Amino acid sequence: MIIDKIKKVNKIEEKPIKNDEASEKMIGKWVKCNNCKEIIYKEELHKNLSVCPNCGKHFRLSSRRRIKQIADEGTFKEIGADILTKDPLNFEGYLKKVELLKEKTKIQEAVKCGKCKINGEEAVLAVMDGNFLMGSMGSAVGERITLAIETAIKNQLPIIIFCVSGGARMQEGIISLMQMAKTSAAIAKLDEQGLLYISVLTDPTTGGVTASFASLGDIILAEPEALIGFAGPRVIEQTIGQKLPEGFQKSEFLLEHGFIDKIVERKDMKETISKIIKMHKKVS
């Protein structure tokens, strides 16, 4: 039925296409929302900042699209692009997997950092990308984020970090866990300078990222329905042997219990961030 519906809207090319190829071609233009189950035209979803026009479900964004949305056009200047993944434990297949992901995602690491302007306000912006090893934090990610924080200190600028992560990168063992301490120490130095740090939690933000820099923002924002926590809900339920409350670890639950400051819809995120920066400038 879905294919019939699609065929009515889209003209199939005159060139002969096998039935299975035609199905793939048409279905590739649509996506199903896993919240409201509606079928959405991909182009419409893209124009709506990857937010379902029917129910408001926020789909995940790549770092490239997030930067395009938040930074003023042409102002983003990347830093730390030469900091790349290492394989300190000679973990079997790790570097091969990283190279395949680089080719597939067209990015070099799970975070992209740089200086930019946000509605005319200068800032340092770091954006994690869940498409690259689920945004896991290894030595390169930790070093890039630390460099971004140090750049903010050097230039006396606010820093905004968009978080999305499955946690520490297991292929780097204890070295990945050390990034929690390193990034947290850098945030402490930023705080000593009285500089603003806005942390934005997106779906999902978990593990070592939640337990370090993601939770240290002066202002902590979150997107609607984002999963935020340390261990996942299934792991917690198995550990404590109890059923968790409805919506546990969702951003709405965390707002209600004082863990975050505000839930902001994606379309309002840039304006909200720039307003916070301007307010901080007035009182600092």
Per-residue model confidence (pLDDT) at position 27: 54
Domain membership of residue 27 (yes or no) is no
Ranges of residues in the chain with a pLDDT under 50 are 1-26
- Do the domain assignments include residue 13? no
Summarised one tens digit per residue, pLDDT across range 216-272 is: 999 999 999 999 999 888 889 999 999 988 889 999 999 999 999 999 999 999 999
- Look up tokens 């979803």; give the residue: 45
Rounded to a whole number of angstroms, the distance between the first and last alpha carbons of the chain is: 60
**pLDDT for res 172:** 97
Say if residues 138 and 85 touch (Cβ distance below 8 Å): yes
**Domain membership of residue 248 as a residue range:** 60-283
Structure confidence at residue 7 (pLDDT): 41
The pair of three-digit structure tokens given for residue 52, joined into one six-digit string: 């379902």
Structural domain includes residue 28: no
Q: Could you tell me if residue 49 is inside a domain?
A: no
- pLDDT of 1 reads 44
What confidence score (pLDDT) does residue 12 get? 35
What confidence score (pLDDT) does residue 6 get?
40
State whether residue 160 is helix, strand or coil: strand
| 242 Cβ contact partners less than 8 Å away, ≥ 6 residues apart | none
Residue 40 lies inside a defined structural domain of this protein:
no
Give me 113's structure tokens: 């950092």
Residue 114 in tokens: 């740089």
- Asked if residue 37 is part of any domain, the answer here is no
The amino acid that residue 15 corresponds to is K
pTM: 0.88
Query: Could you tell me if residue 79 is inside a domain?
Result: yes
Amino acid 49: pLDDT:
94
Q: How many domains does the chain have?
A: 1
Q: Identify whether 53 is part of a domain.
A: no
Tokens describing residue 185: 């120490």
The CATH number assigned to the domain holding 154 equals 3.90.226.10
